[in-house]
């Protein structure tokens, strides 16, 4: 079963972290993925809509492509509640001392 080109493009960007559109286009061509510029732009647009990459214009003719990094937010109140519940659970066993 063939891997979709979209996955290959995402893997290239993820591997590099950040690169320009021309660098990515050349890397894909080097690996044997020859495509038109329209198809290349469509792939970038699809990946950006899916929230996997960001595409930003650096200059008039150059775009920077980078992987979206999702940071997980830690809720302090939720963490405290979890700790209290664990302590209450452990304390419910007879003969438990900490």
Chain segment 8-57, per-residue pLDDT in tens: 999 999 998 899 999 999 999 999 988 899 999 999 999 999 999 999 99
Q: Are 10 and 52 in contact (CB under 8 A)?
A: yes
Task: Output b/e per residue, 11-23; b: 16+ Cβ within 10 A.
Answer: ebbeeeeebbbee
The predicted model scores a pTM of 0.67
Q: Name the fold adopted by 1-98.
A: Arc Repressor Mutant, subunit A (1.10.10)
Q: Are 28 and 35 in contact (CB under 8 A)?
A: yes
Q: Are 53 and 6 in contact (CB under 8 A)?
A: no
The three-state DSSP-derived secondary structure of 36-58 is CHHHHHHHHHHHHHCCCEEEEEC
């Amino acid at each position: 079963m063939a891997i979709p080109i979209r996955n290959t493009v995402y893997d290239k960007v993820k591997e590099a972290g950040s690169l320009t559109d021309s660098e990515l286009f050349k890397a894909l061509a080097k690996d044997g993925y020859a495509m038109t510029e329209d198809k290349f732009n469509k792939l970038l647009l699809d990946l950006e809509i899916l929230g996997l990459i960001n595409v930003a214009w650096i200059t008039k003719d150059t775009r920077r492509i980078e992987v979206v990094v999702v940071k997980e937010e830690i809720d302090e109140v939720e963490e405290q509640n979890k700790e209290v519940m664990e302590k209450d659970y452990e304390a419910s066993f007879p003969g438990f001392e900490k």
